[in-house]
Amino acid sequence: MFDLDTLVRPNIRAMKPYSSARDEFQGEAQVMLDANENSLGSAGPERFNRYPDPLQRAVKAELAQLKRVQPAQIFLGNGSDEAIDLLVRLTCVPGQDRILILPPTYGMYEVAANLNDVGIERLPLTADFHLAPETVAAVVASEAKLVFMCSPNNPTGNLLHAEAIEQILRGFRGLVVVDEAYADFAAAPSWTTRLAEFPNLVVLQTFSKAWGLAGLRLGMAFAAPEVISYLNKIKPPYNVSAATQQHALQALQDAPHFEQMRRALLEGRDWLAQQLPTLPIVETVFASDANFLLVRFRPDATVLYHYLLDQGIVVRNRTTQPGCAGTLRLTVGTPAENEQLLQALREFAG
Ligand SMILES: *Cc1c(COP(=O)(O)O)cnc(C)c1O
Protein backbone atom coordinates (compact mmCIF):
# COMPACT_ATOMS: atom_id res chain seq x y z
CA MET A 1 0.00 0.00 0.00
CA PHE A 2 2.38 2.69 1.25
CA ASP A 3 5.67 2.67 -0.61
CA LEU A 4 8.04 5.50 0.21
CA ASP A 5 10.28 5.09 -2.80
CA THR A 6 7.44 5.38 -5.30
CA LEU A 7 6.09 8.36 -3.36
CA VAL A 8 9.35 10.29 -3.53
CA ARG A 9 9.94 12.38 -6.66
CA PRO A 10 12.09 10.46 -9.18
CA ASN A 11 14.65 13.30 -9.47
CA ILE A 12 15.13 13.24 -5.68
CA ARG A 13 15.50 9.48 -5.61
CA ALA A 14 18.16 9.73 -8.31
CA MET A 15 20.08 12.79 -7.13
CA LYS A 16 23.33 12.75 -5.23
CA PRO A 17 23.12 15.08 -2.20
CA TYR A 18 25.61 17.87 -1.63
CA SER A 19 28.46 16.58 0.45
CA SER A 20 29.65 19.35 2.73
CA ALA A 21 33.08 19.62 4.33
CA ARG A 22 31.44 18.76 7.65
CA ASP A 23 29.84 15.65 6.15
CA GLU A 24 33.21 14.41 4.95
CA PHE A 25 35.08 15.19 8.14
CA GLN A 26 33.35 15.17 11.53
CA GLY A 27 34.88 16.17 14.78
CA GLU A 28 37.75 18.37 15.86
CA ALA A 29 41.15 18.37 14.18
CA GLN A 30 44.05 20.57 15.17
CA VAL A 31 44.21 22.22 11.80
CA MET A 32 40.90 22.76 10.05
CA LEU A 33 41.54 23.95 6.52
CA ASP A 34 38.81 22.06 4.66
CA ALA A 35 35.83 24.42 4.60
CA ASN A 36 37.22 27.86 3.70
CA GLU A 37 36.25 29.12 7.14
CA ASN A 38 38.09 31.94 8.88
CA SER A 39 40.51 30.34 11.35
CA LEU A 40 41.32 33.74 12.91
CA GLY A 41 37.94 34.10 14.58
CA SER A 42 34.67 35.99 14.15
CA ALA A 43 33.51 39.58 13.98
CA GLY A 44 31.14 40.32 16.83
CA PRO A 45 31.18 39.21 20.46
CA GLU A 46 30.99 35.43 19.97
CA ARG A 47 32.84 32.86 17.92
CA PHE A 48 30.87 31.37 15.08
CA ASN A 49 33.70 30.87 12.61
CA ARG A 50 33.10 27.14 12.15
CA TYR A 51 30.24 25.62 10.17
CA PRO A 52 27.70 23.85 12.39
CA ASP A 53 27.01 20.11 12.51
CA PRO A 54 24.77 19.54 9.45
CA LEU A 55 22.91 16.76 11.27
CA GLN A 56 22.67 18.50 14.69
CA ARG A 57 23.78 15.33 16.50
CA ALA A 58 24.09 16.83 19.98
CA VAL A 59 20.60 18.36 19.90
CA LYS A 60 19.10 15.17 18.51
CA ALA A 61 20.74 13.06 21.23
CA GLU A 62 19.01 15.18 23.90
CA LEU A 63 15.72 15.33 22.04
CA ALA A 64 15.71 11.57 21.47
CA GLN A 65 15.75 11.04 25.24
CA LEU A 66 13.09 13.65 25.92
CA LYS A 67 10.74 12.40 23.18
CA ARG A 68 11.59 8.70 23.59
CA VAL A 69 12.51 8.22 19.92
CA GLN A 70 15.73 7.34 18.10
CA PRO A 71 17.98 10.14 16.79
CA ALA A 72 17.49 8.62 13.31
CA GLN A 73 13.77 9.38 13.65
CA ILE A 74 14.40 13.13 14.08
CA PHE A 75 14.76 15.86 11.47
CA LEU A 76 15.53 19.42 12.59
CA GLY A 77 14.74 22.45 10.47
CA ASN A 78 14.70 26.21 10.38
CA GLY A 79 11.27 26.20 12.02
CA SER A 80 8.75 23.47 11.25
CA ASP A 81 7.86 25.63 8.27
CA GLU A 82 11.05 24.32 6.66
CA ALA A 83 9.92 20.74 7.23
CA ILE A 84 6.52 21.55 5.69
CA ASP A 85 8.21 22.91 2.55
CA LEU A 86 10.63 19.99 2.30
CA LEU A 87 7.84 17.41 2.70
CA VAL A 88 5.93 19.01 -0.19
CA ARG A 89 9.06 19.13 -2.34
CA LEU A 90 10.06 15.58 -1.44
CA THR A 91 6.84 14.04 -2.71
CA CYS A 92 5.07 16.37 -5.16
CA VAL A 93 6.14 16.88 -8.78
CA PRO A 94 5.45 20.55 -9.60
CA GLY A 95 2.56 21.07 -12.00
CA GLN A 96 1.44 17.48 -11.54
CA ASP A 97 0.91 16.29 -7.94
CA ARG A 98 -1.12 17.66 -5.07
CA ILE A 99 -1.40 17.82 -1.30
CA LEU A 100 -4.52 17.42 0.80
CA ILE A 101 -5.55 19.86 3.53
CA LEU A 102 -8.50 20.06 5.93
CA PRO A 103 -9.67 23.68 6.26
CA PRO A 104 -9.83 25.68 8.39
CA THR A 105 -6.19 25.01 9.14
CA TYR A 106 -2.67 26.42 9.25
CA GLY A 107 -1.93 28.63 6.24
CA MET A 108 1.62 27.48 5.54
CA TYR A 109 0.58 24.18 3.92
CA GLU A 110 -1.16 26.10 1.18
CA VAL A 111 1.73 28.56 0.80
CA ALA A 112 4.25 25.71 0.50
CA ALA A 113 2.08 24.07 -2.18
CA ASN A 114 1.65 27.33 -4.11
CA LEU A 115 5.35 28.12 -3.92
CA ASN A 116 6.17 24.70 -5.34
CA ASP A 117 3.46 24.79 -8.04
CA VAL A 118 1.72 21.87 -6.35
CA GLY A 119 -2.07 21.39 -6.37
CA ILE A 120 -4.25 21.59 -3.27
CA GLU A 121 -7.20 19.32 -2.52
CA ARG A 122 -9.42 20.70 0.24
CA LEU A 123 -11.74 18.60 2.39
CA PRO A 124 -13.37 20.85 4.99
CA LEU A 125 -13.72 19.90 8.64
CA THR A 126 -17.22 19.75 10.15
CA ALA A 127 -18.87 22.82 11.77
CA ASP A 128 -17.29 21.79 15.09
CA PHE A 129 -13.93 21.26 13.35
CA HIS A 130 -13.71 17.47 13.29
CA LEU A 131 -13.27 14.86 10.57
CA ALA A 132 -16.62 13.53 9.35
CA PRO A 133 -16.64 9.79 8.47
CA GLU A 134 -17.16 10.66 4.79
CA THR A 135 -14.17 13.00 4.97
CA VAL A 136 -12.00 10.23 6.37
CA ALA A 137 -13.18 8.02 3.49
CA ALA A 138 -12.40 10.78 0.97
CA VAL A 139 -8.88 11.23 2.39
CA VAL A 140 -8.26 7.50 2.16
CA ALA A 141 -9.47 7.45 -1.45
CA SER A 142 -7.43 10.52 -2.45
CA GLU A 143 -4.50 10.36 -4.85
CA ALA A 144 -2.78 13.28 -3.10
CA LYS A 145 0.87 12.68 -2.19
CA LEU A 146 0.50 13.87 1.38
CA VAL A 147 -2.16 15.02 3.80
CA PHE A 148 -1.54 17.69 6.43
CA MET A 149 -3.56 17.24 9.60
CA CYS A 150 -3.08 19.81 12.31
CA SER A 151 -3.87 18.48 15.80
CA PRO A 152 -4.44 20.48 17.96
CA ASN A 153 -5.65 22.45 14.96
CA ASN A 154 -4.73 26.05 14.25
CA PRO A 155 -6.87 28.24 14.30
CA THR A 156 -9.59 26.18 15.98
CA GLY A 157 -7.63 24.78 18.96
CA ASN A 158 -9.15 21.29 19.05
CA LEU A 159 -7.50 17.90 18.76
CA LEU A 160 -8.69 15.82 15.82
CA HIS A 161 -10.12 12.48 16.91
CA ALA A 162 -7.42 9.84 17.19
CA GLU A 163 -9.61 7.13 15.59
CA ALA A 164 -10.06 9.28 12.47
CA ILE A 165 -6.32 9.94 12.20
CA GLU A 166 -5.62 6.25 12.70
CA GLN A 167 -8.04 5.26 9.92
CA ILE A 168 -6.23 7.68 7.61
CA LEU A 169 -2.84 6.32 8.65
CA ARG A 170 -4.04 2.81 7.81
CA GLY A 171 -5.73 3.64 4.52
CA PHE A 172 -4.08 6.63 2.82
CA ARG A 173 -1.37 5.85 0.27
CA GLY A 174 0.64 9.05 0.80
CA LEU A 175 2.50 10.55 3.73
CA VAL A 176 0.35 11.50 6.71
CA VAL A 177 1.70 14.62 8.38
CA VAL A 178 0.32 15.33 11.86
CA ASP A 179 1.30 18.88 12.80
CA GLU A 180 1.59 18.96 16.59
CA ALA A 181 2.88 22.51 17.02
CA TYR A 182 0.59 22.74 20.07
CA ALA A 183 1.06 19.20 21.43
CA ASP A 184 2.63 20.48 24.67
CA PHE A 185 -0.70 22.07 25.61
CA ALA A 186 -2.84 19.05 24.72
CA ALA A 187 -4.29 16.42 27.02
CA ALA A 188 -3.43 13.57 24.66
CA PRO A 189 -0.32 11.54 23.92
CA SER A 190 1.77 12.67 20.95
CA TRP A 191 1.62 10.67 17.73
CA THR A 192 5.37 10.21 18.15
CA THR A 193 4.39 7.31 20.44
CA ARG A 194 2.95 5.52 17.36
CA LEU A 195 5.86 6.01 14.94
CA ALA A 196 6.88 2.35 15.01
CA GLU A 197 3.42 1.31 13.78
CA PHE A 198 3.15 3.67 10.82
CA PRO A 199 5.93 4.04 8.20
CA ASN A 200 3.86 6.80 6.54
CA LEU A 201 3.54 8.97 9.68
CA VAL A 202 5.36 12.29 10.03
CA VAL A 203 4.87 14.26 13.26
CA LEU A 204 5.78 17.96 13.31
CA GLN A 205 6.62 19.80 16.52
CA THR A 206 8.31 23.11 17.21
CA PHE A 207 10.29 25.15 19.72
CA SER A 208 8.19 28.19 18.76
CA LYS A 209 5.25 27.72 21.13
CA ALA A 210 5.53 26.07 24.56
CA TRP A 211 9.34 26.35 24.59
CA GLY A 212 9.04 30.09 24.01
CA LEU A 213 11.67 30.13 21.24
CA ALA A 214 9.81 31.41 18.18
CA GLY A 215 12.65 33.79 17.41
CA LEU A 216 15.22 31.00 17.37
CA ARG A 217 13.60 29.14 14.42
CA LEU A 218 13.83 25.47 15.30
CA GLY A 219 11.30 22.88 14.23
CA MET A 220 11.21 19.10 14.50
CA ALA A 221 9.90 16.34 12.29
CA PHE A 222 9.64 12.80 13.65
CA ALA A 223 9.25 9.88 11.25
CA ALA A 224 10.66 6.52 10.20
CA PRO A 225 14.42 6.72 9.55
CA GLU A 226 13.79 6.22 5.80
CA VAL A 227 11.66 9.39 5.65
CA ILE A 228 14.16 11.32 7.77
CA SER A 229 17.00 10.25 5.46
CA TYR A 230 15.18 11.70 2.48
CA LEU A 231 14.57 14.99 4.32
CA ASN A 232 18.26 15.15 5.22
CA LYS A 233 19.14 14.44 1.59
CA ILE A 234 17.25 17.49 0.28
CA LYS A 235 17.69 20.03 3.09
CA PRO A 236 20.17 22.90 2.78
CA PRO A 237 23.37 21.46 4.30
CA TYR A 238 23.65 23.89 7.24
CA ASN A 239 19.95 24.59 7.78
CA VAL A 240 20.19 24.97 11.59
CA SER A 241 22.77 27.51 12.72
CA ALA A 242 25.39 26.89 15.40
CA ALA A 243 23.76 29.60 17.53
CA THR A 244 20.42 27.80 17.30
CA GLN A 245 21.94 24.40 18.10
CA GLN A 246 23.80 25.77 21.13
CA HIS A 247 20.75 27.60 22.40
CA ALA A 248 18.49 24.60 21.89
CA LEU A 249 20.85 22.45 23.98
CA GLN A 250 20.65 24.99 26.78
CA ALA A 251 16.86 25.16 26.51
CA LEU A 252 16.61 21.38 26.74
CA GLN A 253 18.57 21.57 30.02
CA ASP A 254 15.97 24.04 31.30
CA ALA A 255 13.02 21.66 31.39
CA PRO A 256 11.70 22.99 34.74
CA HIS A 257 11.23 26.47 33.27
CA PHE A 258 9.54 24.98 30.21
CA GLU A 259 7.18 23.04 32.46
CA GLN A 260 6.44 26.06 34.63
CA MET A 261 5.57 28.23 31.61
CA ARG A 262 3.50 25.45 30.08
CA ARG A 263 1.44 25.13 33.26
CA ALA A 264 1.01 28.89 33.58
CA LEU A 265 -0.24 29.13 29.99
CA LEU A 266 -2.70 26.30 30.61
CA GLU A 267 -3.99 28.15 33.69
CA GLY A 268 -4.31 31.31 31.62
CA ARG A 269 -6.24 29.42 28.97
CA ASP A 270 -8.62 27.96 31.55
CA TRP A 271 -9.13 31.37 33.17
CA LEU A 272 -9.93 33.03 29.83
CA ALA A 273 -12.20 30.15 28.84
CA GLN A 274 -14.12 30.69 32.11
CA GLN A 275 -14.29 34.47 31.89
CA LEU A 276 -15.07 35.01 28.21
CA PRO A 277 -18.53 33.36 28.18
CA THR A 278 -19.71 35.86 30.82
CA LEU A 279 -19.48 38.65 28.22
CA PRO A 280 -22.63 39.35 26.15
CA ILE A 281 -20.56 39.80 22.95
CA VAL A 282 -19.22 36.25 23.20
CA GLU A 283 -21.25 33.67 21.32
CA THR A 284 -18.94 30.63 21.50
CA VAL A 285 -15.61 29.84 23.10
CA PHE A 286 -14.36 26.78 21.24
CA ALA A 287 -12.71 24.11 23.36
CA SER A 288 -8.93 24.38 23.08
CA ASP A 289 -6.04 22.00 23.52
CA ALA A 290 -3.61 24.76 22.48
CA ASN A 291 -2.27 28.07 23.86
CA PHE A 292 -5.02 30.08 22.20
CA LEU A 293 -8.79 30.26 22.07
CA LEU A 294 -10.95 30.62 19.00
CA VAL A 295 -13.93 32.77 19.99
CA ARG A 296 -17.05 33.63 18.02
CA PHE A 297 -18.26 37.15 18.78
CA ARG A 298 -21.49 38.96 17.96
CA PRO A 299 -22.49 41.16 16.32
CA ASP A 300 -19.26 41.92 14.40
CA ALA A 301 -15.86 40.43 15.12
CA THR A 302 -14.02 42.68 12.65
CA VAL A 303 -15.29 45.86 14.35
CA LEU A 304 -14.15 44.35 17.64
CA TYR A 305 -10.79 43.45 16.11
CA HIS A 306 -10.17 47.08 15.17
CA TYR A 307 -11.39 48.28 18.57
CA LEU A 308 -8.83 46.02 20.25
CA LEU A 309 -6.10 47.31 17.92
CA ASP A 310 -6.97 50.87 18.99
CA GLN A 311 -6.51 49.69 22.58
CA GLY A 312 -3.06 48.41 21.65
CA ILE A 313 -4.12 44.76 21.72
CA VAL A 314 -3.50 42.69 18.63
CA VAL A 315 -5.30 39.40 18.14
CA ARG A 316 -5.81 37.34 14.99
CA ASN A 317 -8.89 38.01 12.87
CA ARG A 318 -10.03 34.65 11.52
CA THR A 319 -13.44 35.79 10.19
CA THR A 320 -12.56 34.99 6.56
CA GLN A 321 -11.37 31.43 7.24
CA PRO A 322 -13.74 28.63 6.18
CA GLY A 323 -16.17 27.84 8.98
CA CYS A 324 -14.76 30.64 11.14
CA ALA A 325 -17.16 33.52 10.41
CA GLY A 326 -17.34 35.91 13.38
CA THR A 327 -14.23 34.58 15.08
CA LEU A 328 -11.05 36.00 16.53
CA ARG A 329 -8.13 33.86 17.68
CA LEU A 330 -6.84 34.96 21.07
CA THR A 331 -3.38 33.83 22.17
CA VAL A 332 -3.04 33.21 25.91
CA GLY A 333 -0.61 35.78 27.33
CA THR A 334 0.68 36.69 30.77
CA PRO A 335 -1.96 36.94 33.52
CA ALA A 336 -1.76 40.75 33.19
CA GLU A 337 -2.22 40.60 29.41
CA ASN A 338 -5.17 38.22 29.76
CA GLU A 339 -6.76 40.58 32.28
CA GLN A 340 -6.13 43.56 29.98
CA LEU A 341 -7.73 41.73 27.06
CA LEU A 342 -10.77 40.82 29.12
CA GLN A 343 -11.11 44.38 30.43
CA ALA A 344 -11.00 45.76 26.86
CA LEU A 345 -13.66 43.26 25.78
CA ARG A 346 -15.83 44.26 28.76
CA GLU A 347 -15.52 47.92 27.85
CA PHE A 348 -16.41 47.20 24.21
CA ALA A 349 -19.44 45.24 25.35
CA GLY A 350 -20.52 48.44 27.13
C1 LIG B 1 3.11 27.99 14.96
C2 LIG B 1 2.90 26.82 14.10
C3 LIG B 1 3.96 26.12 13.56
C4 LIG B 1 5.35 26.51 13.92
O5 LIG B 1 6.10 26.90 12.88
P6 LIG B 1 7.64 27.25 13.16
O7 LIG B 1 8.11 27.43 11.75
O8 LIG B 1 8.24 26.07 13.84
O9 LIG B 1 7.68 28.48 13.98
C10 LIG B 1 3.73 24.99 12.80
N11 LIG B 1 2.47 24.57 12.59
C12 LIG B 1 1.42 25.21 13.11
C13 LIG B 1 0.06 24.67 12.92
C14 LIG B 1 1.60 26.36 13.86
O15 LIG B 1 0.53 26.99 14.37
Task: Render pLDDT for 20-44 as a digit per residue (tens, 0 to 9).
Answer: 888 888 878 899 999 999 999 999 9
**What is the pLDDT, as a whole number, of residue 252?**
97
Last residue of a domain, one of 216, 244, 272: 244
The CATH code of the domain that includes 313 is: 3.90.1150.10
Ligand 1 pocket test target in 78, 154, 185, 217 with most atoms within 8 Å of CB: 154
- Over residues 177-205, mean pLDDT: 98
Q: Which residues contact ligand 1 via a Cβ below 6 A?
A: 79-81, 106, 150, 154, 179, 181, 206, 208-209, 214, 219
User: Is 150 in the same domain as 192?
Assistant: yes
**pLDDT-based confidence at 321, cuts 50/70/90?**
very high
Position 339 confidence tier, pLDDT thresholds 50, 70, 90: very high
For residue 185, the CA-to-ligand 1 centroid distance in Å is 14
In a domain, 46, yes or no: yes
Identify the residue whose C-alpha is closest to ligand 1 atom 11: 181
C-alpha dist (Å) from residue 3 to 73, 78, 175, 337: 18, 28, 10, 49
Nearest residue by C-alpha to atom 5 in ligand 1: 80
Domain match, 64 and 172 both: yes
117 and 193 fall within a common domain = yes
338 alpha-carbon distance from chain centroid: 24
The answer to whether residue 331 scores a pLDDT higher than 90 is yes
Ligand 1 atom 10: the closest Cα is on which residue? 181
Q: What percent of the chain is predicted at pLDDT more than 70?
A: 100
Give the pLDDT of residue 4. Answer: 97
What's the mean per-residue pLDDT of the chain? 97
